[in-house]
Amino acid sequence: MKKLINAPENVVKEALAGMAAAHPDLLTVHYDPDIIVRAGAPKAKVGIISGGGSGHEPMHGGFVGYGMLDAACPGAVFTSPVPDQMLAATQAVNGGKGVLHIVKNYTGDVMNFEMAADLAAAEGIEVASVVTNDDVAVENSTWTAGRRGVGVTVLLEKIVGAAAEAGADLASCKALAEKVNNQGRSMGMALTACTVPHAGKPGFDLPDDEMEVGVGIHGEPGRRRVKVAAASEIAEMLAGPILEDLPFKRGDHVLAFVNGMGGTPLIELYLMYNELNKILTGNGISISRQLIGSYITSLEMAGCSFTLVKMDDELTKLWDAPVHTPALRWGM
Amino acid sequence: MKKLINAPENVVKEALAGMAAAHPDLLTVHYDPDIIVRAGAPKAKVGIISGGGSGHEPMHGGFVGYGMLDAACPGAVFTSPVPDQMLAATQAVNGGKGVLHIVKNYTGDVMNFEMAADLAAAEGIEVASVVTNDDVAVENSTWTAGRRGVGVTVLLEKIVGAAAEAGADLASCKALAEKVNNQGRSMGMALTACTVPHAGKPGFDLPDDEMEVGVGIHGEPGRRRVKVAAASEIAEMLAGPILEDLPFKRGDHVLAFVNGMGGTPLIELYLMYNELNKILTGNGISISRQLIGSYITSLEMAGCSFTLVKMDDELTKLWDAPVHTPALRWGM
Domains and CATH numbers, chain A: 11-183 (3.40.50.10440), 184-323 (3.30.1180.20)
**A5, A262, A303: residue with CB nearest B271:** A5
Residue B180 has pLDDT above 90, yes or no: yes
**Single-letter amino acid code for the residue at B270:** Y
Q: What angle do CA A20, A22, A25 make, to 5 degrees?
A: 80
- A–B interface: beta-carbon pairs under 8 A: 177
Distance from CA of B302 to the nearest CA of A (A): 8
- pTM value surpassing 0.90: yes
Residue A103 has pLDDT above 90, yes or no: yes
Distance from CA of B330 to the nearest CA of A (A): 6
For residue A186, the surrounding DSSP H or E stretch is strand A184-190
pLDDT band at B141 (very low <50, low <70, confident <90, very high): confident
Averaged pLDDT of chain A:
97
Search chain A and give the residue with CA nearest B268. Answer: A4
Q: Please, which residues 115-154 of chain B have a Cβ atom closer than 8 Å to chain A?
A: none
Residue B143 has pLDDT above 90, yes or no: no
Q: Are B128 and B173 in contact, with CB atoms under 8 Å apart?
A: yes
A158-216: pLDDT as tens digits: 999 999 999 999 999 999 999 999 999 999 999 999 999 999 999 999 999 999 999 99
Is B57 near chain A, with CB under 8 Å?
yes
pLDDT band at A42 (very low <50, low <70, confident <90, very high): confident
Residue B142 has pLDDT above 90, yes or no: no
Residue B140 has pLDDT above 90, yes or no: no
Q: What integer is the mean pLDDT of A113-129? A: 98
Q: Where are the beta strands (DSSP E) in A247-311?
A: 253-260, 286-293, 303-310
Q: What integer is the mean pLDDT of A319-324? A: 98
pLDDT band at A98 (very low <50, low <70, confident <90, very high): very high
pLDDT band at A140 (very low <50, low <70, confident <90, very high): confident
User: What percentage of chain B exceeds 70 in pLDDT?
Assistant: 100
**So what's the pLDDT on residue B176?**
98
Q: Is A38 helix (H, G, I), strand (E, B) or coil?
A: strand
Decide if A294 and B266 are in contact by the 8 Å CB cutoff: yes
**So what's the pLDDT on residue A71?**
98
Decide if A11 and B332 are in contact by the 8 Å CB cutoff: no
Residue B185 has pLDDT above 90, yes or no: yes
Residue B70 has pLDDT above 90, yes or no: yes
Distance from CA of A240 to the nearest CA of B (A): 17
Would you say the C-alpha torsion A262, A267, A273, A278 has a positive or negative sign? negative
**A2, A14, A272: residue with CB nearest B228:** A2
Is A320 near chain B, with CB under 8 Å?
no
A46-96: pLDDT as tens digits: 999 999 999 999 999 999 999 999 999 999 999 999 999 999 999 999 999
Q: Taking CB atoms and an 8 Å cutoff, what residues of chain A touch B201?
A: none
Q: What angle do CA B83, B105, B116 make, to 5 degrees?
A: 20
Q: Which of A267, A269, A329 would you mutate first to test chain B, the one with the most B CBs within 10 A?
A: A267
Q: Taking CB atoms and an 8 Å cutoff, what residues of chain B touch A19?
A: 270
**So what's the pLDDT on residue A142?**
84
A324 catalytic per annotation = no
Search chain A and give the residue with CA nearest B14. Answer: A271
Search chain B and give the residue with CA nearest A15. Answer: B271
pLDDT band at B257 (very low <50, low <70, confident <90, very high): very high
**So what's the pLDDT on residue A43?**
82
**So what's the pLDDT on residue B134?**
98
User: What percentage of chain A exceeds 90 in pLDDT?
Assistant: 97
Would you say the C-alpha torsion B229, B235, B237, B238 has a positive or negative sign? positive
CA separation, residue A257 to residues A34, A44, A211, A306 (Å): 29, 32, 21, 6
Q: What integer is the mean pLDDT of A104-120? A: 98
B222-255: pLDDT as tens digits: 999 999 999 999 999 999 999 999 999 999 999 9
Is A240 near chain B, with CB under 8 Å?
no
